[in-house]
Structure 1
Amino acid sequence: MTTNLRLPAIEIDQGRGQRVYTFAVDAKLIPSFAAIHRAGRADDGRTLVGYQRPEVVKHIRAIADYIESDRPMIPNALTISFDATVTFEPHDLNGPVGYARTGDLVVPIPADPNLRPGHLVDGQQRTAAVREADVDTFPLACCAFITGNEAVAREQFLLVNNTKPLPKGLIHELLPGTTTKLPRVLERKRYPAELVAELNLLPWSPLHDRIRTATRPDGFIKDNSVLRMLENSLTDGALYRYRDPHTGQGDTDAIIELVTNFFSAVATVWPNAWDAPPRKSRLVHGAGIIALGFLMDTICDMAAEPGSIPSTNRFTDELRRVAPHCAWMSGHWRFGTDHVRAWNEVQNTSKDQQLLANHLIRHYIEAVRGTPASQIQPNAA
């Protein structure tokens, strides 16, 4: 059986068919009509569902302690996304005054919690704190919108949290599911994030389930390392030729083919280093992944037929040229006559990424052209 909760509200017309609703409600009631849609993967393993990060217990307890204090005040509003079962009944049928009108927001509370009409877009920690606090009631201000599209709720979640310390991994997973215009820093990462998701989800990809994300926490290659490797190549490398600089999109099939061919070759040439975790292998470490991306670009420039994508076998042959100069799991990196480091002293910093990339590129060019590595001055990063 479904009951209705009637909430006095103000409807604000923001133009272009967009309306938002402001109201107050006892936050103890919010779980009865709004769920927290946590980020995860559907049964098919590919489809991203939800968008919320996990609860932070210490943060919730701190807010709850404040709510239990003598004079608590939480002025910032929660954001809730409602589906079309929620309706607004205006008080004045003659129309709004200016941009707004008052009325009742009619929110159904179903007996089955799986049919709740709302999702909490912003404010899960505050709501959880009220739930845990030893108080009978605690009203909170809310701002809501009605939509049947989860992508809209996901986009609002990104926009609301853009200036907050949202985990980067969660941002990267949410970006491919958005379509609205985002701040430039996020807009630039949307297509590379889509590629990261594909590389991690495709069963035949050498990176399948190896990239650590919010919904794939068992991966051991950091998503940000793969993202940066792709960004570098899309900006000024082998993948640039497959990208439309005006739209930011690209020939995804061709890009995926090139990257999977390359990393399949990496796995063939260095199988032990490819299967080891970063603490035991600098190949799957951030510095290694980013440096290998620059080497991939160089191989495509020097060894690929114009307009063609090198096969896995071709990449394998080219990578074997630099294999004697690599110390992914043991030994020393010999970056120069007076610059020798133990294999695990290479760190995931911009300086070391460039150092490692230039080392690989110099020895590759030496093997192809015969020019001594000491005389080659690449500038990979």
Structure 2
Amino acid sequence: MSKPRRRDQRDVEAYLGIQRPLNEARVAALHKYVNFVDATFPTSVILAIDDSDFAYFDEAKRELVMSNVRRGNDRPDIAISNLCRVIDGQHRIAGLENFKGKDFQVMTAIFVGIDIADQAYIFATVNLEQTKVRKSLAFDLFELSRTRSPYKTCHNVAVALDRVVESPLHQRIKRLGGATPGRDRETITQSTVVDSLVRYISPEPKVDRDLLLRGQELPLADTDTLKRFCLRNLFIKGDDVAIARIVQNYFDAVRATWPAAWDDFGQGAMLNKTNGFRALMSIFGRVYTFVTAPGNMVPRSKFEEVFKRSKFKDADFTTDTFKPGTSGEAKLRNELLAQLDLPSGG
């Protein structure tokens, strides 16, 4: 089979009046992904062959035969690289250019002899009408995994913080990214919790997962690595309970320092919502490594001593002061760091 024509020849996109160049960041991620032990592409790469004279189905062999030699001729009529056009799958094909294994099976759907209008219809159906899976739901599926991974650990921590009655995040986490029936105080999504926590556990969560799936042990992190990934060795040792307890104690200290703001679910409140949570988690590493060495347990009181340095009052945590979006999050983060007077790093 020929290598299909790359998407720099955008006949279908030109017909639709759109443009979809290769996303180099996505290709770079796929360059890594295709070499993971359980890498797979569960959906088909979709190709088109314009002229039915270049392909036919061999009934006897039950095979689709493709050639750049038109039936009845004895010499090539087109370049082999121009035999197929990619309707969907350009990034997967580009990602496989870095595959280092022997074989990588890819499901392929090939349409023979369809015109550009039909190709455009298929392209639009596949790319413009898909329902995106919520990230929180994707993280929730890690619960079913038998193998440890940074994302599974962070999922377990999020679930524990949501379930434990004493937790300051009790029933405040949207487990599947949407509101849970009967609960009206879910202010942050599970994906927000997982994304905010995993940054302290692993520099490359997918690589860690792949190594663990292969049965390899992760080496304990050195001192320099722990400056950025302060919970990494607890994860490597399998002590998810300690990670959950530390994070719970951290937010217990937040609740004890600013109780009215933490329990304010009204319009304009922000400390217990996404912006406030993300800002607090963005300084977690600095606070944690200020009060102890990475891997140690920290009681609420130690975190509370740090937060008591802040001049913020409960009434300060509003969307008027800290605007919705990344600007408000960054402002709260920077002002907290300045008031807490923590060493750099973490």
- Could you say which TM-score interval applies, normalised by the shorter chain? 0.3 to 0.5
Of Structure 1 and Structure 2, the greater strand share is in 1
TM-score after normalising by structure 1: 0.43
TM-score after normalising by structure 2: 0.47
